[in-house]
Amino acid sequence: MRDSLELYNLLLSPQEMKDDLNILRKIHEQANSGLYFYRTNKEVDSLYNLALHRTDRPMRKIAFYKILLPIIDFEGSSHNYTELDADLIAFLERQKSFFPYSLRYIEGHIIFDGTNAAIPSGSKILKINGVEASLIMESLYKYFPADGFTKTKKMSSSVERSFDLYYLLEYGLTDTYVIKYLAPGEEESKTVVIPSTTLDEMKSNHKNRFSVPVTDRIDFKTQNPYSFQMLAPSIGLLNLRWFGFVTGEEDPGFKGYIHFLDSVFTDLADRQIENLIIDIRNNPGGSDPTFEQPVMFLTQKTFKENERAHIIFDPLKIPYQEYFWGVSTSERIDEGFWVEVQQFLKERYPVLEKGINVQNQKYNPTYFPKTPQFNGKLFLLINENVASAASHFASLIKGYVEDVIIVGVETVGGYYVHNGHVPFVYELPNSKIKTQFSIVHVLQDAPLKKDQPKGRGIIPDFEVWPTLSDYFKQVDTQMEFIINYIETHE
């Protein structure tokens, strides 16, 4: 059978798409506890009505997928995710149609980050295949849902995470990329034609990007989940790259993590270290009780994971079970695991009253201060990719640590609330598109702050983005800001 896009990107009838849209809404209304937290029923109505109007003619699956994306994004949850079926994605990944080199988002521009290419590293990309760079970025925002009304991750991800697959979904397959760019130090733009490449070749080129000396140091995929080092006699650096390296207290790795934290804070106390930087940039999150552990060494107050957490359905009667896929888009659950999911939820959210199942407080323990307490100056380093449990960690730090300065970029995860803990995946019957969202609405234990608007991520005291001048010098702008701050305030 011919391996062509039309084989996988099937034509959907108006009725098939309208049925999928109606099912999507019903699923979210009955299972998604955060659906109407940021948006009113009227606003959601309007968006669905627009989508129904746009499906009055036959349409291919990818085009329908792009109609669904703004709906899912509009809800305001960074745990939302929408995925095409695996066969279509696999077809796209087989094509020699990918942009060959890495790109960076710096100072509002698309910056070329490749090496040994026709375009100099650090060049500003002005147009790609005739489309203005700014329009390309805006068109890709919908692929990256965020908590509340936060936009920071959308801005950088539209460049740094889009040009493997999302660009192809948005603009189609292509054999070449016509790039209009402005080279460093030049006043006149140039145009070059770059042949497309395979996904594997693109990934290989990504390893050789110009920014590697800076970006690799904060990549949770290449770095240890936690580490510590001394940057100077008075400055310690605790890197917390990922909170998902263990599944919970029963995990064998948890005890080693606790021992590590004890040794770090004991060493800080013994040596009377004055400044501690905690770097959680690019930390995607994880699970309880990993992220709470460092906080106990940094505050003299007790705290909890949340003030309240709930779901909105009976765990033994999961809504629209006929479309339920599982807890991950990569694997469909079997009957045995299905029972485990229901038992897990019933134990944690036991009683349905007036449409709400409140969390069993057994699973929301109080955390107490630990010794030795760190009594110096704390600096928390965040960026737009800090999500889920990592942004929750940042929320606790901002809410409960007295002497802290937060530096970097607003996190994608919210300060006050989020939907998290348990991902549910449903597959729409006609398009086979999967929709994933977390079913638990969490009101975090986050004290009210004047500088912390509702519906936003953790707001830094000093907003610091990477700069183009530091890019050329291969310098970490955000870390250098903190070092300079400490040196000028001693």
pLDDT in tens, 279-308: 999 999 998 899 999 999 999 999 999 999
Tell me the average pLDDT across 367-377.
Answer: 96
And the tokens for 319?
Answer: 């809504």
pLDDT value for 2: 53
Taking alpha carbons only, the member of 380, 388, 389 closest to residue 409 is 380
Radius of gyration of the chain, Cα coordinates, nearest whole angstrom: 24
User: Could you give the angle at the alpha carbon of 141 between the alpha carbons of 146 and 139, nearest 5°?
Assistant: 165
Using pLDDT thresholds of 50, 70 and 90, give the confidence band for residue 333.
confident
Reported as a single tens digit per residue, the pLDDT across 54-99 is 999 999 999 999 999 999 999 999 999 999 999 999 999 999 999 9
Q: pLDDT averaged over the chain?
A: 95
pLDDT at 201 over 80: yes
Task: Give the Cα separation of 246 and 263 in Å (integer).
Answer: 19
Q: Are 294 and 238 in contact (CB under 8 A)?
A: yes
Tell me the average pLDDT across 462-479.
Answer: 98
Confirm whether 94-210 and 218-321+329-419+438-489 share one CATH topology. Answer: no
Q: What is the SS3 string spanning the chain?
A: CCCCHHHHCCEECHHHHHHHHHHHHHHHHHHCCCCCCCCCHHHHHHHHHHHHHHCCCCEEHHHHHHHHHHHHHHCCCCCCEEECCHHHHHHHHHCCCECCCCEEEECCEEEECCCCCCCCCCCEEEEECCEEHHHHHHHCHHHCCCCCCCCHHHHHHHHHCCCCCHHHHHHCCCCEEEEEEECCCCCCCEEEEEECECHHHHHHHHCCCCCHHHHHHHCCCCCCCEEEEEEECCEEEEEECCECCCCCCCCHHHHHHHHHHHHHHHHHHHCCCCEEEEECCCCCCECCCCCCCHHHHCCCCCEECEEEEEECCCCCCCCCHHHEEECCCCCCCCHHHHHHHHHHHHHHCCCEECCEEECCHHHCCEECCCCCCCCCEEEEEECCCCCHHHHHHHHHHHHHCCCEEEEECCCCCECCEEEEEEEEEEECCCCCCEEEEEEEEEEECCCCCCCCCCCCECCCCEECCCCHHHHHHCCCHHHHHHHHHHHHHC
pLDDT at 1 over 80: no
Domain residue limits, the chain: 5-75, 94-210, 218-321+329-419+438-489
> Of all residues in the chain, what percent carry a pLDDT higher than 70?
99
Task: Give the Cα separation of 384 and 478 in Å (integer).
Answer: 12
Reported as a single tens digit per residue, the pLDDT across 242-271 is 999 998 889 999 999 999 999 999 999 999
Name 479's Cβ contacts closer than 8 Å, sequence gap at least 6: 277, 279, 381
Task: Give the Cα separation of 37 and 41 in Å (integer).
Answer: 10
Reported as a single tens digit per residue, the pLDDT across 208-246 is 999 999 999 999 999 999 999 999 999 999 999 999 999
Tell me the average pLDDT across 349-357.
Answer: 91
pLDDT value for 247: 85
Reported as a single tens digit per residue, the pLDDT across 448-457 is 999 999 999 9
Tell me the average pLDDT across 166-193.
Answer: 96
Task: Give the Cα separation of 404 and 17 in Å (integer).
Answer: 51
Task: Give the Cα separation of 350 and 353 in Å (integer).
Answer: 10
Fold of the CATH domain 218-321+329-419+438-489: 2-enoyl-CoA Hydratase; Chain A, domain 1 (3.90.226)
Reported as a single tens digit per residue, the pLDDT across 36-55 is 999 999 999 999 999 999 99
pLDDT at 3 over 70: no
Using pLDDT thresholds of 50, 70 and 90, give the confidence band for residue 6.
confident
Tell me the average pLDDT across 317-325.
Answer: 93
Reported as a single tens digit per residue, the pLDDT across 114-135 is 998 899 999 999 999 999 999 9
And the tokens for 378?
Answer: 């704390």
pLDDT value for 489: 87
Reported as a single tens digit per residue, the pLDDT across 383-436 is 999 999 999 999 999 999 999 999 999 999 999 999 988 999 999 999 999 999
Give the pTM.
Answer: 0.95
pLDDT value for 305: 94
Using pLDDT thresholds of 50, 70 and 90, give the confidence band for residue 334.
confident
- As a CATH number, domain 94-210 is 2.30.42.10
Task: Give the Cα separation of 260 and 94 in Å (integer).
Answer: 43
